[in-house]
Chains A and B, each alone.
Chain A
């Protein structure tokens, strides 16, 4: 009797489990097969998609995946300059009116033409509903958009702002009005089923925590013959980059699109069957000295701190030579059209640091230590910064300055950053593609990422003027003057631009490398052209 009961319980358990699993089992009918052949490209990522609505999504994987469905008006070159994508022409007709001319040959995957109305709808809806994605942050001086023809959209600005057209074009995805318009607020629309895409791929299957499958969309004008070369893209989720590397070596995936840890680059370059690609960096790592805290409001103290960091050692040891100096300027050399090569990096000179501190009125004790102690926060999620934080501490000690590094879990780090609860902020920005835009965010008193808490009228005047002018030469002069002020007054201590490396299996060719980890080798135009030789 008991045996029978046990057997029945066991059978019931197996039935329940099989039923539950059966619900997860994909049916061939439901999964759309890529039409007409072509290989499948499997790409590793370390995070799930959090949000399928590109106007809300913020994670790297959100960006990679939604970019394959919702086009950007502009893309970016390796030097940060804006290049055509959906938009073929862009600019300003007067200081408060901008425009985009868009292609007339793009369609959504359900056959609806992609027109200027979709662009105008996207911008107006974001302005109205205030979704939490990146685009809304670019619309501070944007009033409204209007489609004046199927291929031209005009933007009205509340005040002159030269950054709106290039930055909205680069950061904003265009979404289909006929889908998103029915959903009510774009800030609350999950967009988690029945995706409509303007190519090159369309999401067809989601297995949370496991994989995301996208099928080819045709026609796509940026693919050879209007047809993406691979039939299917599968993003596979792994817990971290080390497991991704194991999976790449094992042949479980074909590419890793996120940046490799610096120490893994050389071993992977030597690994058989693996190709490593260099991705130009468009961001920088920096130390922001909180000027709300005394004595960091004293320029001599900030200059002393700048002379108490061995930048070369950090770039050579921690970054294994995969980074370049910016000359302590917030305009990196990669931004060729704006960079000022006359600005020189602060030298690592503990004696100079000591002299500056003495000039500032500080006296070292018998052991050579000054009565100065600073708490430096950094995110433990960022292994590179975590490594150089200790070098910064040790270098400062040579100048008699005490720095106490405080590694924090990401959310605590964000909260302390937001509250200004630090003396020194150590971190990095992933993409600083447009100096005028970035300086409004980093150096104006109410800038969202003004981590130095700088409030300097001369700097604010330069930045505000640079933001307003649409004259490129004038803007260059203004941002260079602002960068010189930042350099000389140490309103920000910019340390380096890191060049990134990604890897793929060598049988795959045709990747188009774009700057930054966000674009990397998984930009839509890259994935529409990639080929497998086996």
Chain B
């Protein structure tokens, strides 16, 4: 088997084991939560008889081992179960929301990279005022908390300046191009919140690795060969400095997903994050399990792709 294929297979197997681990931990942790779903979902004035009937309907009157076995069996057949509170398949409940989370997280990721790379290059190549300014902004950005920045942006750009709407993903009863326009307007504030909180780490990581790369022998050699500083920076140093940043993109995806839960809640953005928040309050185990499977699989696949990309970019990794 070629080294790259062996490398890919190893990573895929590791990903499958990680997903199983995430599924199991999620299943057990949800059942450690205080309260029972019948109380959370149904009318608190219900009779004991109704409550028992609900627990039976949810399958929660069976032993933990039986519940776990049934859940894994369902999962292997691609069945995420039925929502306790909504009485609809979990897949339906999640798929309504998934596009919005993808739009938000991917937009935030793209904007972060588009802004972060030039800022990192600026800081590494122009030591002095620009470097200090970017470093300071990066540290401030890293210390920001999504709810604080969210409320601030809502107040300033939503209420006071009225540039953007307060919450939601689009304006109701708009169609065609106008609908896409309203989607963009509604996306700006939640996306900006996510970008602001994650930009710092990208910029600071890129800055530091780029400074190291610029001091490497191959850059000195390139300069000695008469290459201009701009070419040395963008063509030689940056390509090598991007390797750790690529890893960071994969690692940060988990934080982006976590940030999306908070962001979607603050901006009433109808993605999976807000769905998780509501499912937690209703102890809707199937929806929570489904959402966590979906999100952990997304993060694991993204990390897998990062690993594979890394393997492609750096041949030493494949044989490690």
Contact = CB atoms under 8 A, between A and B. Distances in A.
B106 A17 contact: yes
A253 B100 CA distance: 22
Contact of A58 (B34, B42, B270): B42
A182 B141 CA distance: 57
B95 to A, nearest CB: 9
Given A13-B106, A17-B103, A20-B98, A210 B87 contact: no
Contact of B87 (A28, A136, A140, A188): A188
- Interface size on A, as a range, is 35 or more
A336 interface: no
Given A132-B41, A211-B168, A243-B166, A410 B270 contact: no
A446 to B, nearest CB: 9
A472 interface: no
A232 B46 CA distance: 34
A239 B281 contact: no
Contacts of A234: 172-173
Can you list the 3 inter-chain pairs with the closest CB atoms, starting with the nearest? A209-B270, A411-B35, A132-B42
A56 B35 CA distance: 20
Given A190-B87, A209-B269, A210-B268, A134 B43 contact: yes
Interface string A36-57: 0000101000011011010010
B69 interface: no
B87 A414 contact: no
B216 interface: no
A409 B53 CA distance: 25
B268 A237 contact: yes
A449 B45 contact: yes
B255 interface: no
Contacts of A412: 34-35
Interface stretch (B73-81, B155-163, B197-205, B294-302): B155-163
Interface string B158-184: 110010011111101101100110010
8 contacts: A130-B53, A188-B57, A207-B172, A209-B268, A410-B281, A414-B39, A418-B39, A449-B44
Interface in A78-102: none
A50 B85 contact: yes
B167 A239 contact: yes
Nearest to B282: A50
A246 B155 contact: yes
A53 B87 CA distance: 10
B86 A51 contact: yes
A50 B86 contact: yes
A249 interface: yes
B131 interface: no
Given A209-B274, A414-B40, A56 B167 contact: no
A475 B195 CA distance: 65
B49 interface: yes
Interface in A328-374: none
Interface in B75-121: 85-88, 93, 96-100, 102-103, 106
B225 interface: no
Contact of A448 (B45, B168, B268, B269): B45
Contact of B172 (A130, A140, A213, A410): A213
Nearest to A413: B35
Contacts of A250: 158-159, 162, 165-166
